[in-house]
Structure 1
Amino acid sequence: PAPPELLRGGSEGLYMVNGPPSFTESTAFQRDSGKNCKAVAFSRDGSLFAWCNGERVNVVNLTRADAFNPQKPLFFFYFFFAAAKDGTAGVPNLQLHDLRTGKCLKSFIQKKINMDSQICSTQREFWALQAVDAIANKLHLQKVSDFVLSPGAQPTKIAVYVPGSKGAPSFVRLYQYPNFGGPQSALANKSFFKADKVTMLWNKKATAVLVIASTEVDKTGASYYGEQTLHYVGSSGESAVVQLPKNGPIYDVCWSPSSAEFCAVYGFMPAKATVFNLKCEPVFDFGTGPRNAAFYSPQGHVLVLAGFGNLRGQMEVWDVRNYRLISRPVAADSTCFSWCPDGEHMVTATCAPRLRVSNGYKVWHYTGTLLHSHLVPAEQEMWQVLWQPFLDGVFPERAVKLNPVPNELSRAAQAYRPPALRNKPGSTSRLHEEEPPQNMKPPQGGADKPLSKTALKNQRKHEAKKAAKQEAKADANQSPAQVSTPQITPQITPATTTGDPELDKKIKNLKKKLKAIEQLKEQAAAGKQLEKNQVEKIQKEAALLKELEDLELGV
């Protein structure tokens, strides 16, 4: 298939750019130079494109086919509800049109809308899109505050949220359309306290929902963001609370396209990121870092952890089939990110109104190579950048590459360093103690069975003994000259024994102090301002070295 096109919209108008590798303006879409082209939408397969220029809604067929697909003859457009000046309901803000004729088939006044390919729903009322003259079904559930229709194939499922009141808990229920007989007809029910609002996320196969429950205020005072919890609700009736091992806000949660796992980014900065399976068990922990978002590729084989918004735009690109780090590109001041449908490329952009300066976008290969960059002139704004969508399977998964794709622009994409640290050696100091990535799957032994606690203990003992033997063998292979004339340097040598426990203890303590002094010297060389007591420790280095030399020569 041809590379997906990239839509660009801003104060200079609306136009499309050919995808990699050309990045030239597309001829499939005639540029609209209007300054009010802010509302845009693609059909799910990318064949149709609609936009509003402030005067009318336009729909074009990007495939140049002679006729519209008969399965997609309808078109919805929705604008924010506003009451009339006299207090009446105002103009209907939800309208359904026939794409062939442009005729309005039905109009509604609705404050919230959701739909899939067959059903349109507003709070508790559902219409079949092929027959919208009458309500097809109605959910008899009071005080519904939010709802989400499942994606993917039929039958459609609905997740509804009812906030708690008068001491009763909040709850989320899952239904399968059109079975709305009452609580007994629900597929699953999950109740919880501490929820002023929720975010509900269906997986692609509509087998489970993740619910982020949030309170406006954290009564413990631990977080400015309020208090948040993550819940799992399966369409088969199972539910659980996802245990997050680090306190703090939940920045992002995203499902893998396989629907078999999900990634959560959470905790006070530096934030943790963890992949969980459908049993809500951790599978892989990415450690800590400056991140607040996660994005799976459309094929699910690559995961990007990113720090956008008030962070510096650092990205970590991971091969999630083997949990290998691929690259660490940096896209400073990015306000949006999206994967190309081919699973090979991604776009980062700085858009208004979030940021009104330095608007522009960059196209990357996931190996960290910057392929294309466009900066909007200072007097203009860019509002959005979108990839043309494609149906699943059009772009199959490809083997993950680890070597960067060559390109001259990639030289400009370098990690940000403060002015005080430029042209100086890298520092080993950290503002926060960082945790490294680790595989959370239990060790496998024998016929793919997890090792018992006793077996794990014995395995650790065996590995420790093996390491000790290797160290003793290395010491025995040293020449007499090396043993009799030790050279005292600030570097710490491997531990040796003298036969006197008290003397060994003194030598160990001295080496520990010298190691700490070395770390302080490295921090000072990197530009860190040391405390008075730290400077005094460095000044004692010569005396400590002399004391260590006397002890070792006396052995």
Structure 2
Amino acid sequence: MSPNEWEKTQNQREVTYKCPQKWQDVRGSDGTRLLDGPPTYQEHAAFPRDPHPCRCLTFSRDGSLLAWCNGKSVSVARTSDGSSVATLELPKTTLLEFSPLGNVLVTWQPYTKSADAAQGEPNLRLWKLPGAGPLKAFFQKKAEAWCPSWSADEKMAVRMVSNELHFFEDNNFDVIASKLLVLKVSNFELSPGSHPGKVCVYVPGSKGGPSLVRIFQYPNWGAALATKSFFKADRVSMLWNNKASAALVTASTEVDKSGASYYGEQTLHYLNVGGETALVQLPKNGPVYDVAWSPNSSEFCVVYGFMPAKATVFNLKCDAVFDFGTGPRNAVYYSPKGNILVLAGFGNLRGHMEVWDAKKYKQVSKLQAENSTHFSWCPDGEHVLTATCSPRLRVGNGFQVRHYSGGVAHAHETPDGAELWEARWQPFPEGTFPERPVASARPGGEPAATPALAYRPPALRHLPAAPTSKLHEEEAPQNARGPDKILSKAALKNQKKREARKAAKQENKPEAEPPSDPAPVARPSETGGDPETDKKIKNVKKKLKAIEELKEQQAAGKVLQKNQLEKMQKEEQLLDELKHLELHSL
């Protein structure tokens, strides 16, 4: 199970912190509290601790409101001064959410029936803020896809009812403004941004037919903007980019029929609103652990393949832009500004984290957070939060705040007998914090993070390390090799080809003529009598020489531009072209 899935399944408690401009929230068995964040980490004076165990908690999207249920009631308060906005007598509430502008609070409690109400009572309720007057009540038996989805301006909302999508406008839930009727639709994802929006829907395959994902534009339901069909899908997850111009679909099966993986099988698909679709070609076989869009909406990163897993950045043409090599990782997180990327290994891995400059593709630091069940970026794009929470792990509960460049800024261990259920940062409106240059040194002389160890299965951890075992091998990033010139498998293969060609040329080199004969000996590989072919050979050799110079610059530590990296990727193609031209020049 991925870290994102752990967060969604934890109906536990939270804690909140506040930095001079930013906050966090934490809940646990000892109650709920709001804390200041870096650099003080003190309980926030305007928000007294609620000592009662908290069932659930959430912030509004801009962070101005906080709602929580302590098993007695649902409370809504302003984070600025702790003043009460509303109190609802809903002690069984287990899920809470705000609409994007904070005008509506949504509560959900498990569906039940009673002798007095054979059909049960509505368990999904919408409340108008401020004041929390009742807005609408629905029956929602399953917690899956329980909350309506809104456009960013709240002009449109949508929820799925009996395999139909019902659309509402201006928070008027008494009138269905439009319906999207797609036979057997089982999941959907509303695009980010303002009204009118787009919606991505999933229809499972049946009777041997393929599964379908389609993109529609509200409210023009006649023709889909894009359609992608595929097999091997028991479930899918759909992920829009921030500009709502494209979506990624991860299709998964429960069982891998080949027996190669207990994760099942996964495939990754791409769709854009212009109608283009593609299967994302992943160079290494194995599970797709995680995928994330860059906030710039023009790139996405995928972590995939049997351990040690690969991580690759792709562009909107689904072409590989940068390969990070392999390592013990199963998750990827972009910073809020998209200038930093973290590759991490949680769960059955040991909390190894690699921090990368996402623009220069240069590694910034390595961090270690063993037994973590949660990771999140602070809205300032400078700090990260890792936590060990119950019920995923019931021992060693606590959290740590780090600067991404290394070192622990603050750590908290939950006292014996207590549990930490959730920790999260307070969100802030986009643009609140400026983008700062990526730091390469640890601030304030913080100690270096302990280097992460390579992943070893539990059954082998009592044995001495075996560096020659393939299980522990890690490929260096393809386009970011340091001065030690660690070569990837592909680069090593190309190097062997070049050495073989050089040796062959030396063996075929004609012996020197006697000094009395001044006529030069022409080599067939250099000229074949056809001026046009000779010209092409010369041009290809010129390109190969330029690639060699780029490789030397990269080995010396110089950061190359994207077009230079793309030029280097054509080396093997140019070598094949040169071989073809030389053969035809004989």
Using the size of structure 2 for normalisation, the TM-score is 0.71
Name the residue aligned to 2:226.
188
Indicate the SS of the match to 1:299: coil
Rg larger for: 1
Q: Give the whole-Å Cα distance in 2 for the aligned partners of 1:336 and 1:241.
A: 30
Q: Give the whole-Å Cα distance in 2 for the aligned partners of 1:395 and 1:128.
A: 32
Q: Give the whole-Å Cα distance in 2 for the aligned partners of 1:140 and 1:148.
A: 15
Letter aligned with residue 99 of structure 1 = L
Letter aligned with residue 148 of structure 2 = N
Q: Give the whole-Å Cα distance in 1 for the aligned partners of 2:436 and 2:121.
A: 50
Name the residue aligned to 1:497.
none
How far the C-alpha of 1:428 sits from its partner, in A, is: 5.8
Name the residue aligned to 2:148.
114
Alpha-carbon contact 1:232-1:241 (below 8 Å) kept: yes
Q: Give the whole-Å Cα distance in 2 for the aligned partners of 1:381 and 1:312.
A: 21
Alpha-carbon distance change, 380 to 346 in structure 1, aligned in 2, over 3 angstroms: same
Indicate the SS of the match to 1:406: helix
Q: Among 429, 434, 458, which residue is 2:474 paired with?
A: 434
Q: Which digits, 9 at most, give the CA deviation of each residue in 1:308-353, with x for residues without a partner?
A: 0100000000001101000001001000100000000000010000
Name the residue aligned to 1:273.
311
1:75 and 2:105 are equivalent in the alignment: yes
RMSD: 3.1
Name the residue aligned to 1:448.
none
Q: Give the whole-Å Cα distance in 2 for the aligned partners of 1:235 and 1:265.
A: 25
Q: How does 1:281-296 map to 2 (within 5 A)?
A: 281-296=319-334
Question: What runs of 5+ residues in structure 2 fail to find an aligned partner?
Answer: 1-18, 86-98, 457-463, 481-535, 552-586
Q: How does 1:392-403 map to 2 (within 5 A)?
A: 392-403=430-441
Q: How does 1:48-127 map to 2 (within 5 A)?
A: 48-64=65-81, 72-82=102-112, 88-110=118-140, 111=142, 112=145, 113-116=147-150, 117=152, 118=154, 119-123=156-160, 124-127=165-168
Alpha-carbon distance change, 248 to 294 in structure 1, aligned in 2, over 3 angstroms: same
Name the residue aligned to 2:63.
46
Alpha-carbon distance change, 79 to 237 in structure 1, aligned in 2, over 3 angstroms: farther
Alpha-carbon contact 2:205-2:231 (below 8 Å) kept: yes
1:344 and 2:382 are equivalent in the alignment: yes
Q: Among 383, 391, 399, which residue is 1:361 paired with?
A: 399
Alpha-carbon distance change, 65 to 379 in structure 1, aligned in 2, over 3 angstroms: closer
Q: Among 219, 225, 229, which residue is 1:178 paired with?
A: 219
How far the C-alpha of 1:155 sits from its partner, in A, is: 2.3
Name the residue aligned to 1:304.
342
Alpha-carbon distance change, 231 to 81 in structure 1, aligned in 2, over 3 angstroms: farther
Alpha-carbon distance change, 244 to 114 in structure 1, aligned in 2, over 3 angstroms: farther
Alpha-carbon contact 1:174-1:188 (below 8 Å) kept: yes
Q: Give the whole-Å Cα distance in 2 for the aligned partners of 1:51 and 1:148.
A: 26
Q: Which digits, 9 at most, give the CA deviation of each residue in 1:71-112, with x for residues without a partner?
A: 643222223444557994422121111222322121001243
Alpha-carbon distance change, 60 to 456 in structure 1, aligned in 2, over 3 angstroms: farther
Alpha-carbon contact 2:60-2:102 (below 8 Å) kept: no
1:128 and 2:169 are equivalent in the alignment: yes
How far the C-alpha of 1:224 sits from its partner, in A, is: 2.0
Indicate the SS of the match to 1:328: strand
Name the residue aligned to 1:449.
none
Q: Give the whole-Å Cα distance in 2 for the aligned partners of 1:457 and 1:82.
A: 75
Letter aligned with residue 297 of structure 1 = S
Q: Give the whole-Å Cα distance in 1 for the aligned partners of 2:421 and 2:413.
A: 13
The alignment of Structure 1 onto Structure 2 pairs a total of residues equal to: 447
Indicate the SS of the match to 2:167: strand
Alpha-carbon distance change, 82 to 245 in structure 1, aligned in 2, over 3 angstroms: farther
Indicate the SS of the match to 1:439: coil
Q: Among 387, 395, 400, which residue is 2:425 paired with?
A: 387
Q: Give the whole-Å Cα distance in 1 for the aligned partners of 2:197 and 2:539.
A: 48
Q: Which digits, 9 at most, give the CA deviation of each residue in 1:106-143, with x for residues without a partner?
A: 10012433312423322111222521112121111121
Alpha-carbon contact 2:61-2:102 (below 8 Å) kept: no
Name the residue aligned to 1:406.
444
Q: Give the whole-Å Cα distance in 2 for the aligned partners of 1:71 and 1:301.
A: 27
Letter aligned with residue 21 of structure 1 = P
Alpha-carbon distance change, 223 to 59 in structure 1, aligned in 2, over 3 angstroms: same
Q: Give the whole-Å Cα distance in 2 for the aligned partners of 1:171 and 1:99.
A: 39
1:257 and 2:315 are equivalent in the alignment: no
Indicate the SS of the match to 1:166: coil
How far the C-alpha of 1:439 sits from its partner, in A, is: 2.9
Q: Among 154, 159, 184, which residue is 2:195 paired with?
A: 154
How far the C-alpha of 1:57 sits from its partner, in A, is: 1.1
Alpha-carbon distance change, 464 to 384 in structure 1, aligned in 2, over 3 angstroms: closer
Indicate the SS of the match to 1:394: coil
Alpha-carbon distance change, 136 to 3 in structure 1, aligned in 2, over 3 angstroms: same
Alpha-carbon distance change, 323 to 205 in structure 1, aligned in 2, over 3 angstroms: same
- Deviating more after overlay: 156-165 vs 243-252: 156-165
Alpha-carbon contact 2:29-2:418 (below 8 Å) kept: yes
- Deviating more after overlay: 97-106 vs 79-88: 79-88
Alpha-carbon contact 1:370-1:407 (below 8 Å) kept: no
Higher RCO (C-alpha 8 Å, min separation 6): 2
Q: Percent identity?
A: 53
Letter aligned with residue 181 of structure 2 = H
Alpha-carbon contact 2:20-2:38 (below 8 Å) kept: no
Name the residue aligned to 2:267.
229
Name the residue aligned to 1:499.
none
How far the C-alpha of 1:236 sits from its partner, in A, is: 1.6
Alpha-carbon contact 1:91-1:109 (below 8 Å) kept: yes
Q: Give the whole-Å Cα distance in 1 for the aligned partners of 2:537 and 2:400.
A: 50
Indicate the SS of the match to 1:438: coil
Alpha-carbon distance change, 236 to 85 in structure 1, aligned in 2, over 3 angstroms: farther
Alpha-carbon contact 1:114-1:148 (below 8 Å) kept: no
Q: Give the whole-Å Cα distance in 2 for the aligned partners of 1:454 and 1:189.
A: 46
Q: Give the whole-Å Cα distance in 1 for the aligned partners of 2:478 and 2:313.
A: 11
Alpha-carbon contact 2:366-2:449 (below 8 Å) kept: no
Q: Give the whole-Å Cα distance in 1 for the aligned partners of 2:189 and 2:538.
A: 48
Q: Give the whole-Å Cα distance in 2 for the aligned partners of 1:246 and 1:164.
A: 27
Using the size of structure 1 for normalisation, the TM-score is 0.75
- Deviating more after overlay: 5-14 vs 428-437: 428-437
Q: Give the whole-Å Cα distance in 2 for the aligned partners of 1:463 and 1:100.
A: 63
Name the residue aligned to 1:320.
358
